[in-house]
Structure 1
Amino acid sequence: MTGNTIEELPGVGPATAEKLRDAGYSDLMAIAVESPKVLAELVEIGESTATKIIASAKQMADVGGFETGDIILERRKGINRLSSGSKAFDELMGGGLESQSIIEFFGEFGSGKTQICFQLAVNATRPVEEGGLNGDVFIIDTENTFRPERIVQMAVALDLDPEEVLKKIHVARAFNSHHQMLLVEKANELAHEMNVKLLIVDSLTAHFRAEYVGRGSLAERQQNLNKHMHDLLRFADLHNAVIAVTNQVSSKPDAFFGDPTRPIGGHIVGHAATYRLYLRKSKGGKRIARLIDSPNLPEAEAVITVSEEGVRD
Protein backbone atom coordinates (compact mmCIF):
# COMPACT_ATOMS: atom_id res chain seq x y z
CA MET A 1 0.00 0.00 0.00
CA THR A 2 1.50 3.36 -0.94
CA GLY A 3 -1.12 5.79 0.27
CA ASN A 4 -0.05 8.86 2.18
CA THR A 5 -3.31 10.48 3.09
CA ILE A 6 -5.65 9.76 5.99
CA GLU A 7 -8.55 9.20 3.56
CA GLU A 8 -6.77 6.16 2.13
CA LEU A 9 -7.00 4.31 5.45
CA PRO A 10 -9.60 1.49 5.31
CA GLY A 11 -12.76 2.49 7.16
CA VAL A 12 -11.96 6.20 7.18
CA GLY A 13 -14.55 8.27 5.33
CA PRO A 14 -14.48 12.04 4.81
CA ALA A 15 -16.26 12.71 8.14
CA THR A 16 -13.84 10.58 10.18
CA ALA A 17 -10.88 12.05 8.31
CA GLU A 18 -12.05 15.53 9.24
CA LYS A 19 -12.46 14.50 12.88
CA LEU A 20 -8.97 13.02 12.88
CA ARG A 21 -7.49 16.23 11.48
CA ASP A 22 -9.44 18.38 13.94
CA ALA A 23 -8.01 16.26 16.76
CA GLY A 24 -4.50 17.03 15.49
CA TYR A 25 -3.80 13.82 13.53
CA SER A 26 -2.57 15.38 10.33
CA ASP A 27 -0.53 12.44 9.05
CA LEU A 28 -0.38 8.65 9.15
CA MET A 29 2.54 8.53 11.59
CA ALA A 30 0.59 10.49 14.21
CA ILE A 31 -2.24 7.94 13.99
CA ALA A 32 0.10 4.93 13.84
CA VAL A 33 1.74 5.71 17.18
CA GLU A 34 -1.46 6.56 19.08
CA SER A 35 -3.21 4.18 21.47
CA PRO A 36 -6.67 2.88 20.39
CA LYS A 37 -8.28 4.14 23.62
CA VAL A 38 -7.07 7.74 23.14
CA LEU A 39 -7.92 7.77 19.43
CA ALA A 40 -11.40 6.36 20.10
CA GLU A 41 -12.10 9.06 22.72
CA LEU A 42 -10.76 11.99 20.70
CA VAL A 43 -12.41 11.05 17.41
CA GLU A 44 -15.57 9.57 18.97
CA ILE A 45 -15.35 6.16 17.30
CA GLY A 46 -15.45 2.65 18.74
CA GLU A 47 -12.25 1.25 20.18
CA SER A 48 -12.27 -1.71 17.75
CA THR A 49 -12.57 0.72 14.80
CA ALA A 50 -9.71 2.75 16.26
CA THR A 51 -7.58 -0.40 16.56
CA LYS A 52 -8.18 -1.23 12.86
CA ILE A 53 -7.38 2.33 11.75
CA ILE A 54 -4.14 2.33 13.78
CA ALA A 55 -3.12 -1.07 12.38
CA SER A 56 -3.60 0.17 8.80
CA ALA A 57 -1.76 3.41 9.55
CA LYS A 58 1.16 1.39 10.91
CA GLN A 59 1.39 -0.58 7.66
CA MET A 60 1.11 2.47 5.46
CA ALA A 61 3.50 4.61 7.47
CA ASP A 62 5.98 1.74 7.84
CA VAL A 63 6.20 2.03 11.61
CA GLY A 64 8.60 -0.18 13.45
CA GLY A 65 11.12 -0.19 10.62
CA PHE A 66 14.71 0.68 11.52
CA GLU A 67 16.45 3.55 9.79
CA THR A 68 20.14 3.97 9.12
CA GLY A 69 22.00 6.76 10.86
CA ASP A 70 22.68 8.67 7.65
CA ILE A 71 18.94 9.00 6.94
CA ILE A 72 18.35 10.30 10.46
CA LEU A 73 21.26 12.74 10.03
CA GLU A 74 19.69 13.99 6.81
CA ARG A 75 16.36 14.52 8.57
CA ARG A 76 18.06 16.39 11.41
CA LYS A 77 19.26 18.93 8.84
CA GLY A 78 15.68 20.21 8.87
CA ILE A 79 16.04 21.25 12.51
CA ASN A 80 15.95 24.99 13.15
CA ARG A 81 17.74 26.90 15.88
CA LEU A 82 16.38 29.83 17.85
CA SER A 83 18.77 32.41 19.28
CA SER A 84 18.34 33.45 22.92
CA GLY A 85 19.86 36.89 22.41
CA SER A 86 23.07 35.85 24.21
CA LYS A 87 26.00 34.45 22.25
CA ALA A 88 27.35 32.58 25.28
CA PHE A 89 23.97 30.96 25.91
CA ASP A 90 23.56 30.00 22.24
CA GLU A 91 27.00 28.37 22.30
CA LEU A 92 26.07 26.46 25.45
CA MET A 93 23.07 25.12 23.50
CA GLY A 94 25.15 24.12 20.48
CA GLY A 95 24.10 27.11 18.38
CA GLY A 96 20.69 28.01 19.80
CA LEU A 97 17.53 26.27 21.00
CA GLU A 98 16.72 23.28 18.83
CA SER A 99 13.35 22.71 17.18
CA GLN A 100 11.66 19.30 17.65
CA SER A 101 12.75 19.35 21.29
CA ILE A 102 11.62 20.43 24.76
CA ILE A 103 13.89 22.84 26.61
CA GLU A 104 13.19 23.07 30.33
CA PHE A 105 14.30 26.06 32.39
CA PHE A 106 14.18 25.48 36.11
CA GLY A 107 15.27 27.58 39.05
CA GLU A 108 14.09 29.55 42.04
CA PHE A 109 11.70 32.50 41.92
CA GLY A 110 13.40 35.48 40.23
CA SER A 111 16.03 33.42 38.43
CA GLY A 112 14.90 34.81 35.05
CA LYS A 113 12.87 31.90 33.64
CA THR A 114 9.90 33.99 32.47
CA GLN A 115 12.11 36.81 31.15
CA ILE A 116 14.06 34.35 29.00
CA CYS A 117 10.76 33.02 27.63
CA PHE A 118 9.65 36.58 26.75
CA GLN A 119 12.93 37.08 24.89
CA LEU A 120 12.53 33.78 23.02
CA ALA A 121 8.99 34.80 22.05
CA VAL A 122 10.26 38.08 20.57
CA ASN A 123 13.21 36.38 18.83
CA ALA A 124 11.05 33.63 17.29
CA THR A 125 9.14 36.25 15.27
CA ARG A 126 12.39 37.48 13.65
CA PRO A 127 13.75 36.26 10.30
CA VAL A 128 15.85 33.08 10.27
CA GLU A 129 18.99 34.98 9.22
CA GLU A 130 18.69 37.06 12.43
CA GLY A 131 18.53 34.00 14.68
CA GLY A 132 14.74 33.81 14.64
CA LEU A 133 12.24 31.27 13.31
CA ASN A 134 10.10 33.68 11.30
CA GLY A 135 6.97 32.28 12.90
CA ASP A 136 4.15 32.68 15.38
CA VAL A 137 4.40 31.95 19.09
CA PHE A 138 1.94 30.27 21.46
CA ILE A 139 2.21 30.91 25.19
CA ILE A 140 0.30 28.86 27.74
CA ASP A 141 0.33 31.10 30.81
CA THR A 142 -0.49 29.25 34.02
CA GLU A 143 0.46 31.87 36.61
CA ASN A 144 -0.75 35.07 34.94
CA THR A 145 2.82 36.25 34.33
CA PHE A 146 2.53 37.36 30.69
CA ARG A 147 3.25 41.09 30.35
CA PRO A 148 2.88 42.63 26.86
CA GLU A 149 4.78 45.69 28.14
CA ARG A 150 7.92 43.54 28.47
CA ILE A 151 7.49 42.29 24.91
CA VAL A 152 7.28 45.94 23.75
CA GLN A 153 10.51 46.84 25.63
CA MET A 154 12.39 43.89 24.18
CA ALA A 155 11.07 44.48 20.65
CA VAL A 156 12.03 48.18 20.73
CA ALA A 157 15.54 47.24 21.95
CA LEU A 158 15.92 45.15 18.77
CA ASP A 159 14.47 47.87 16.47
CA LEU A 160 11.40 45.73 15.80
CA ASP A 161 7.85 47.03 15.42
CA PRO A 162 6.32 46.09 18.83
CA GLU A 163 2.81 45.93 17.41
CA GLU A 164 3.85 43.49 14.69
CA VAL A 165 5.67 41.34 17.25
CA LEU A 166 2.67 41.31 19.62
CA LYS A 167 0.37 40.25 16.77
CA LYS A 168 2.46 37.09 16.32
CA ILE A 169 2.35 36.12 20.00
CA HIS A 170 -0.82 34.28 21.03
CA VAL A 171 -1.44 33.83 24.75
CA ALA A 172 -3.89 31.54 26.53
CA ARG A 173 -4.38 31.54 30.27
CA ALA A 174 -4.63 28.02 31.77
CA PHE A 175 -6.83 27.89 34.87
CA ASN A 176 -6.01 24.33 35.99
CA SER A 177 -3.93 21.34 34.88
CA HIS A 178 -6.75 19.82 32.83
CA HIS A 179 -7.26 23.12 30.99
CA GLN A 180 -3.50 23.35 30.47
CA MET A 181 -3.48 19.94 28.76
CA LEU A 182 -6.48 20.85 26.60
CA LEU A 183 -4.71 24.00 25.42
CA VAL A 184 -1.96 21.89 23.84
CA GLU A 185 -4.65 20.09 21.82
CA LYS A 186 -6.14 23.46 20.86
CA ALA A 187 -2.69 24.73 19.88
CA ASN A 188 -2.30 21.68 17.64
CA GLU A 189 -5.52 22.52 15.79
CA LEU A 190 -4.59 26.18 15.35
CA ALA A 191 -1.06 25.35 14.23
CA HIS A 192 -2.40 23.88 11.00
CA GLU A 193 -3.46 27.37 9.89
CA MET A 194 -0.49 29.24 11.35
CA ASN A 195 3.28 28.97 11.15
CA VAL A 196 3.83 28.23 14.85
CA LYS A 197 7.51 27.78 15.62
CA LEU A 198 7.62 28.25 19.40
CA LEU A 199 5.33 26.99 22.15
CA ILE A 200 5.99 28.22 25.70
CA VAL A 201 4.45 26.75 28.87
CA ASP A 202 5.09 29.03 31.84
CA SER A 203 4.96 27.28 34.25
CA LEU A 204 4.76 23.61 33.39
CA THR A 205 4.22 22.25 36.90
CA ALA A 206 2.49 24.95 39.00
CA HIS A 207 -1.07 23.63 38.53
CA PHE A 208 -0.04 19.98 38.86
CA ARG A 209 1.80 20.79 42.06
CA ALA A 210 -1.13 22.71 43.54
CA GLU A 211 -3.84 20.21 42.59
CA TYR A 212 -2.19 16.88 43.39
CA VAL A 213 -1.12 17.15 47.00
CA GLY A 214 0.30 14.32 49.10
CA ARG A 215 1.69 10.90 48.31
CA GLY A 216 -1.73 9.40 47.53
CA SER A 217 -2.14 11.51 44.40
CA LEU A 218 1.45 11.25 43.17
CA ALA A 219 0.80 8.43 40.68
CA GLU A 220 -2.11 10.25 39.04
CA ARG A 221 -0.18 13.50 38.91
CA GLN A 222 2.84 11.87 37.26
CA GLN A 223 0.61 10.05 34.77
CA ASN A 224 -1.03 13.30 33.65
CA LEU A 225 2.27 15.15 33.60
CA ASN A 226 3.71 12.37 31.46
CA LYS A 227 0.86 12.64 28.95
CA HIS A 228 1.25 16.43 28.89
CA MET A 229 4.99 16.19 28.16
CA HIS A 230 4.42 13.69 25.36
CA ASP A 231 1.72 15.89 23.83
CA LEU A 232 4.22 18.77 23.84
CA LEU A 233 6.91 16.62 22.23
CA ARG A 234 4.44 15.51 19.58
CA PHE A 235 3.62 19.17 18.88
CA ALA A 236 7.36 19.87 18.49
CA ASP A 237 7.73 17.03 15.98
CA LEU A 238 4.59 17.75 13.96
CA HIS A 239 5.32 21.47 13.55
CA ASN A 240 9.14 21.47 13.71
CA ALA A 241 8.76 23.82 16.67
CA VAL A 242 10.75 24.70 19.77
CA ILE A 243 9.05 23.93 23.09
CA ALA A 244 10.22 26.01 26.07
CA VAL A 245 8.86 25.17 29.50
CA THR A 246 9.62 26.68 32.89
CA ASN A 247 9.70 24.70 36.09
CA GLN A 248 10.09 25.48 39.75
CA VAL A 249 12.42 23.88 42.26
CA SER A 250 11.22 22.51 45.57
CA SER A 251 11.97 25.28 48.05
CA LYS A 252 12.27 22.84 50.94
CA PRO A 253 13.19 19.17 51.02
CA ASP A 254 9.78 17.63 50.30
CA ALA A 255 8.34 14.14 50.46
CA PHE A 256 8.68 13.62 46.69
CA PHE A 257 12.16 14.82 45.82
CA GLY A 258 14.20 15.74 48.87
CA ASP A 259 16.82 18.01 47.31
CA PRO A 260 15.85 21.73 47.48
CA THR A 261 17.33 22.47 44.04
CA ARG A 262 15.55 19.58 42.36
CA PRO A 263 13.02 20.56 39.70
CA ILE A 264 9.39 19.58 40.30
CA GLY A 265 8.02 16.61 38.39
CA GLY A 266 10.79 14.11 39.07
CA HIS A 267 11.88 11.64 36.40
CA ILE A 268 8.77 12.12 34.27
CA VAL A 269 9.70 15.69 33.35
CA GLY A 270 13.42 14.89 33.40
CA HIS A 271 13.18 12.12 30.83
CA ALA A 272 10.73 13.91 28.54
CA ALA A 273 12.70 17.18 28.42
CA THR A 274 15.40 17.10 25.73
CA TYR A 275 17.48 19.82 27.39
CA ARG A 276 17.37 20.86 31.06
CA LEU A 277 18.81 24.19 32.19
CA TYR A 278 19.25 25.29 35.78
CA LEU A 279 19.09 29.07 36.24
CA ARG A 280 20.40 30.91 39.27
CA LYS A 281 20.96 34.52 40.24
CA SER A 282 24.42 36.05 40.33
CA LYS A 283 25.75 39.55 41.14
CA GLY A 284 24.60 42.68 39.32
CA GLY A 285 21.63 41.39 37.33
CA LYS A 286 23.58 38.46 35.95
CA ARG A 287 22.18 34.96 35.70
CA ILE A 288 24.08 31.69 35.43
CA ALA A 289 22.55 29.07 33.14
CA ARG A 290 23.82 25.55 33.67
CA LEU A 291 23.07 22.86 31.10
CA ILE A 292 22.28 19.86 33.30
CA ASP A 293 21.03 17.38 30.74
CA SER A 294 21.32 17.06 26.97
CA PRO A 295 21.47 14.16 24.47
CA ASN A 296 24.64 15.44 22.80
CA LEU A 297 26.18 18.42 24.62
CA PRO A 298 28.53 18.51 27.62
CA GLU A 299 27.42 19.84 31.01
CA ALA A 300 28.53 23.48 31.06
CA GLU A 301 27.58 26.99 32.16
CA ALA A 302 26.97 30.37 30.53
CA VAL A 303 26.63 33.79 32.14
CA ILE A 304 23.86 36.02 30.78
CA THR A 305 22.36 39.34 31.80
CA VAL A 306 18.65 40.01 32.01
CA SER A 307 17.96 43.75 31.76
CA GLU A 308 15.13 45.99 30.61
CA GLU A 309 16.32 45.43 27.04
CA GLY A 310 16.13 41.66 27.46
CA VAL A 311 18.60 38.77 27.45
CA ARG A 312 22.17 39.64 26.48
CA ASP A 313 25.73 38.47 27.15
Structure 2
Amino acid sequence: MSCLEGGIETLCITEAFGEFRSGKTQLAHTLCVSTQLPLHMHGGNGKVAYIDTEGTFRPERIVPIAERFGMDANAVLDNIIYARAYTYEHQYNLLLGLAAKMAEEPFRLLIVDSVIALFRVDFSGRGELAERQQKLAQMLSRLTKIAEEFNVAVYITNQVIADPGGGMFITDPKKPAGGHVLAHAATIRLMLRKGKGEQRVCKIFDAPNLPEGEAVFQITTGGLMDVKD
Protein backbone atom coordinates (compact mmCIF):
# COMPACT_ATOMS: atom_id res chain seq x y z
CA MET A 1 0.00 0.00 0.00
CA SER A 2 1.26 3.43 -0.91
CA CYS A 3 1.03 4.84 2.64
CA LEU A 4 3.59 2.26 3.84
CA GLU A 5 6.16 3.67 1.40
CA GLY A 6 7.45 0.32 0.19
CA GLY A 7 6.13 -2.30 2.58
CA ILE A 8 6.52 -3.38 6.19
CA GLU A 9 9.82 -3.11 8.01
CA THR A 10 12.11 -5.80 9.32
CA LEU A 11 13.43 -5.69 12.90
CA CYS A 12 10.11 -4.47 14.32
CA ILE A 13 6.42 -5.25 14.79
CA THR A 14 3.76 -3.84 12.48
CA GLU A 15 0.23 -4.10 13.88
CA ALA A 16 -2.98 -3.81 11.88
CA PHE A 17 -6.19 -3.39 13.84
CA GLY A 18 -9.77 -3.02 12.76
CA GLU A 19 -13.20 -4.59 12.80
CA PHE A 20 -14.12 -7.91 11.25
CA ARG A 21 -13.70 -7.86 7.43
CA SER A 22 -11.68 -4.65 7.41
CA GLY A 23 -8.85 -6.27 5.43
CA LYS A 24 -6.37 -7.39 8.12
CA THR A 25 -6.22 -11.03 7.04
CA GLN A 26 -6.37 -10.13 3.34
CA LEU A 27 -3.28 -7.99 3.88
CA ALA A 28 -1.63 -10.96 5.61
CA HIS A 29 -2.33 -13.20 2.60
CA THR A 30 -0.94 -10.61 0.19
CA LEU A 31 2.21 -10.24 2.31
CA CYS A 32 2.66 -14.04 2.23
CA VAL A 33 3.25 -13.72 -1.50
CA SER A 34 4.91 -10.31 -1.88
CA THR A 35 7.53 -11.24 0.74
CA GLN A 36 8.72 -14.01 -1.56
CA LEU A 37 9.30 -11.69 -4.51
CA PRO A 38 12.94 -11.02 -5.45
CA LEU A 39 14.62 -7.94 -3.97
CA HIS A 40 14.54 -6.01 -7.27
CA MET A 41 10.72 -6.34 -7.22
CA HIS A 42 10.58 -4.93 -3.67
CA GLY A 43 10.16 -8.35 -2.10
CA GLY A 44 12.09 -10.04 0.68
CA ASN A 45 13.22 -13.11 -1.28
CA GLY A 46 12.50 -15.32 1.76
CA LYS A 47 10.09 -17.63 3.51
CA VAL A 48 7.02 -16.75 5.57
CA ALA A 49 5.86 -18.15 8.92
CA TYR A 50 2.12 -17.87 9.63
CA ILE A 51 0.63 -18.50 13.08
CA ASP A 52 -3.15 -18.64 12.83
CA THR A 53 -5.22 -18.33 16.02
CA GLU A 54 -8.69 -18.05 14.46
CA GLY A 55 -8.61 -20.43 11.49
CA THR A 56 -8.64 -17.62 8.93
CA PHE A 57 -5.72 -18.69 6.70
CA ARG A 58 -6.87 -20.00 3.31
CA PRO A 59 -4.28 -21.62 0.99
CA GLU A 60 -6.69 -21.23 -1.95
CA ARG A 61 -6.50 -17.44 -1.51
CA ILE A 62 -2.74 -17.57 -2.06
CA VAL A 63 -3.09 -19.05 -5.57
CA PRO A 64 -4.62 -16.02 -7.42
CA ILE A 65 -2.31 -13.63 -5.54
CA ALA A 66 0.73 -15.66 -6.66
CA GLU A 67 -0.60 -15.67 -10.24
CA ARG A 68 -1.03 -11.89 -10.13
CA PHE A 69 2.67 -11.55 -9.31
CA GLY A 70 3.64 -14.12 -11.96
CA MET A 71 4.79 -16.68 -9.41
CA ASP A 72 4.36 -20.44 -9.15
CA ALA A 73 1.55 -20.90 -6.60
CA ASN A 74 2.78 -24.30 -5.39
CA ALA A 75 6.28 -22.96 -4.80
CA VAL A 76 4.82 -19.98 -2.92
CA LEU A 77 2.71 -22.26 -0.69
CA ASP A 78 5.76 -24.48 -0.01
CA ASN A 79 7.56 -21.41 1.36
CA ILE A 80 4.78 -20.61 3.86
CA ILE A 81 5.26 -22.45 7.15
CA TYR A 82 1.80 -22.61 8.69
CA ALA A 83 0.71 -23.46 12.24
CA ARG A 84 -2.67 -23.26 13.96
CA ALA A 85 -2.58 -22.20 17.63
CA TYR A 86 -5.37 -23.23 20.03
CA THR A 87 -4.34 -21.65 23.36
CA TYR A 88 -2.12 -18.72 24.27
CA GLU A 89 0.45 -21.21 25.66
CA HIS A 90 0.40 -23.13 22.39
CA GLN A 91 0.90 -19.84 20.55
CA TYR A 92 3.97 -19.03 22.69
CA ASN A 93 5.45 -22.51 22.27
CA LEU A 94 5.04 -22.26 18.49
CA LEU A 95 7.18 -19.11 18.58
CA LEU A 96 9.89 -20.97 20.49
CA GLY A 97 9.94 -23.75 17.90
CA LEU A 98 9.89 -21.24 15.07
CA ALA A 99 13.03 -19.51 16.31
CA ALA A 100 14.95 -22.78 15.88
CA LYS A 101 13.65 -23.07 12.30
CA MET A 102 14.56 -19.46 11.49
CA ALA A 103 18.13 -20.13 12.55
CA GLU A 104 18.37 -22.66 9.71
CA GLU A 105 16.26 -21.19 6.89
CA PRO A 106 15.92 -17.72 5.26
CA PHE A 107 12.69 -16.33 6.69
CA ARG A 108 11.70 -12.72 6.04
CA LEU A 109 8.21 -12.45 7.57
CA LEU A 110 6.33 -13.72 10.62
CA ILE A 111 2.55 -13.26 10.72
CA VAL A 112 0.39 -13.74 13.82
CA ASP A 113 -3.32 -13.51 12.98
CA SER A 114 -4.68 -12.55 15.46
CA VAL A 115 -2.26 -11.86 18.29
CA ILE A 116 -4.92 -11.14 20.93
CA ALA A 117 -7.73 -13.61 20.18
CA LEU A 118 -6.58 -16.52 22.37
CA PHE A 119 -5.74 -14.21 25.28
CA ARG A 120 -9.29 -12.87 25.23
CA VAL A 121 -10.62 -16.43 25.34
CA ASP A 122 -8.20 -17.86 27.93
CA PHE A 123 -8.40 -14.83 30.25
CA SER A 124 -12.05 -13.85 30.13
CA GLY A 125 -12.73 -12.43 33.60
CA ARG A 126 -11.86 -8.95 34.75
CA GLY A 127 -9.90 -10.42 37.65
CA GLU A 128 -7.58 -12.11 35.15
CA LEU A 129 -6.73 -8.94 33.27
CA ALA A 130 -3.40 -8.31 35.02
CA GLU A 131 -2.21 -11.86 34.34
CA ARG A 132 -3.40 -11.64 30.75
CA GLN A 133 -1.42 -8.45 30.14
CA GLN A 134 1.66 -10.00 31.73
CA LYS A 135 1.45 -13.07 29.46
CA LEU A 136 0.72 -10.85 26.45
CA ALA A 137 3.83 -8.78 27.25
CA GLN A 138 5.92 -11.97 27.29
CA MET A 139 4.53 -12.99 23.91
CA LEU A 140 5.23 -9.58 22.37
CA SER A 141 8.73 -9.57 23.85
CA ARG A 142 9.37 -12.90 22.14
CA LEU A 143 8.08 -11.49 18.83
CA THR A 144 10.38 -8.47 19.14
CA LYS A 145 13.33 -10.74 19.88
CA ILE A 146 12.60 -12.86 16.79
CA ALA A 147 12.34 -9.73 14.63
CA GLU A 148 15.69 -8.43 15.83
CA GLU A 149 17.57 -11.72 16.01
CA PHE A 150 16.61 -12.99 12.55
CA ASN A 151 16.07 -9.66 10.73
CA VAL A 152 12.46 -10.47 9.88
CA ALA A 153 9.36 -8.32 9.60
CA VAL A 154 6.61 -9.19 12.10
CA TYR A 155 3.02 -8.47 11.07
CA ILE A 156 0.32 -8.96 13.71
CA THR A 157 -3.41 -8.39 13.45
CA ASN A 158 -5.43 -7.09 16.36
CA GLN A 159 -9.10 -6.78 17.23
CA VAL A 160 -10.94 -3.66 18.33
CA ILE A 161 -13.01 -3.12 21.45
CA ALA A 162 -15.61 -0.52 22.35
CA ASP A 163 -14.08 2.65 23.79
CA PRO A 164 -16.40 3.98 26.51
CA GLY A 165 -14.28 7.12 26.72
CA GLY A 166 -14.63 7.77 23.02
CA GLY A 167 -17.50 10.19 23.52
CA MET A 168 -20.78 10.58 21.73
CA PHE A 169 -19.36 12.82 19.01
CA ILE A 170 -16.96 10.20 17.68
CA THR A 171 -18.62 8.29 14.86
CA ASP A 172 -16.85 4.99 15.58
CA PRO A 173 -15.65 4.90 19.20
CA LYS A 174 -13.48 1.78 19.04
CA LYS A 175 -9.89 1.25 20.06
CA PRO A 176 -7.35 -1.56 19.56
CA ALA A 177 -7.39 -4.37 22.13
CA GLY A 178 -4.35 -5.11 24.27
CA GLY A 179 -4.00 -1.75 25.98
CA HIS A 180 -0.64 -0.10 26.64
CA VAL A 181 1.24 -3.39 26.50
CA LEU A 182 0.46 -3.85 22.83
CA ALA A 183 0.71 -0.14 22.04
CA HIS A 184 4.32 -0.03 23.30
CA ALA A 185 5.35 -3.26 21.55
CA ALA A 186 4.18 -2.29 18.05
CA THR A 187 6.48 0.11 16.21
CA ILE A 188 4.00 0.78 13.41
CA ARG A 189 0.25 0.70 13.97
CA LEU A 190 -2.20 0.64 11.08
CA MET A 191 -5.92 1.23 11.47
CA LEU A 192 -8.05 -0.50 8.85
CA ARG A 193 -11.70 0.25 8.21
CA LYS A 194 -14.35 -0.52 5.63
CA GLY A 195 -15.01 1.83 2.74
CA LYS A 196 -17.46 1.57 -0.16
CA GLY A 197 -18.15 -1.95 -1.39
CA GLU A 198 -14.90 -3.91 -1.44
CA GLN A 199 -12.82 -0.82 -0.73
CA ARG A 200 -10.92 -0.51 2.54
CA VAL A 201 -9.03 2.38 4.09
CA CYS A 202 -5.66 2.04 5.81
CA LYS A 203 -4.60 4.87 8.10
CA ILE A 204 -1.17 5.30 9.68
CA PHE A 205 -2.23 5.33 13.33
CA ASP A 206 1.26 5.50 14.79
CA ALA A 207 4.69 5.26 13.16
CA PRO A 208 7.98 6.94 14.06
CA ASN A 209 9.20 7.30 10.48
CA LEU A 210 6.06 7.57 8.34
CA PRO A 211 3.97 10.68 7.76
CA GLU A 212 0.33 10.63 8.77
CA GLY A 213 -1.76 9.53 5.86
CA GLU A 214 -4.37 7.20 4.44
CA ALA A 215 -4.53 4.84 1.49
CA VAL A 216 -7.64 3.41 -0.11
CA PHE A 217 -7.28 -0.14 -1.37
CA GLN A 218 -9.48 -2.72 -3.02
CA ILE A 219 -9.92 -6.34 -1.93
CA THR A 220 -9.65 -8.56 -5.01
CA THR A 221 -8.98 -12.25 -5.63
CA GLY A 222 -5.44 -11.17 -6.51
CA GLY A 223 -4.91 -9.62 -3.09
CA LEU A 224 -4.99 -5.99 -2.04
CA MET A 225 -4.58 -3.29 -4.66
CA ASP A 226 -4.26 0.45 -4.18
CA VAL A 227 -7.14 2.52 -5.49
CA LYS A 228 -5.81 5.43 -7.52
CA ASP A 229 -7.40 8.84 -7.08
Fold shared, TM-score > 0.5 on shorter chain: yes
The residue aligned with 1:57 is none
Query: Does 2:68 align with 1:128?
Result: no
Alignment equivalent of 2:93, drawn from 182, 185, 202: 182
Residue 149 (1) aligns with residue 60 (2): yes
* Paired residues of 1:124 and 1:135 also in contact (CA < 8 A): yes
Aligned-residue offset at 1:94? 3.4
Distance 1:224 1:217 in 2: 11
Aligned twin of 1:241: 152
Q: Secondary structure at the match of 2:224?
A: strand
Match of 1:207 among 113, 118, 142: 118
Q: Which amino acid aligns with 2:189?
A: R
Which is greater in Rg?
Answer: 1
Deviations 1:37-72 (A, max 9, x none): xxxxxxxxxxxxxxxxxxxxxxxxxxxxxxxxxxxx
Residue 137 of structure 2 is aligned to residue 226 of structure 1? yes
Which string of whole-angstrom CA distances, capped at 9 and with x for unpartnered residues, describes residues 100-141 of structure 1? 010000000000100000000111111111111000100000
CA RMSD of aligned residues (A): 1.7
Q: Which residue of 2 aligns with 1:282?
A: 195
Can you list the C-alpha shifts for 1:163-193, whole angstroms capped at 9, x where unaligned?
A: 0000000100101001001111111011111
Residue 79 of structure 2: aligned partner: 168
Give 1:45's aligned residue: none
1:261 aligned partner: 174
5+ residue gaps, structure 2, are none
Equivalence for 1:80: none
Q: TM (normalized to structure 1)?
A: 0.68
Amino acid corresponding to residue 194 of structure 2 in structure 1: K
Moved more, 164-173 or 258-267: 258-267
Taking structure 2 as the reference length, the TM-score comes to 0.93
Structure 1 residues 287-310: Cα deviation after superposition (integer angstroms, max 9, x where no partner): 100111112222221111111111
User: For 1:164 and 1:243, how far apart are their aligned partners in 2?
Assistant: 22
Aligned positions, number: 222
Partner residue, 1:112: 23
8 Å CA contact retained: 1:249, 1:260: no
Structure 2 CA distance for aligned equivalents of residues 293 and 183 of structure 1: 28
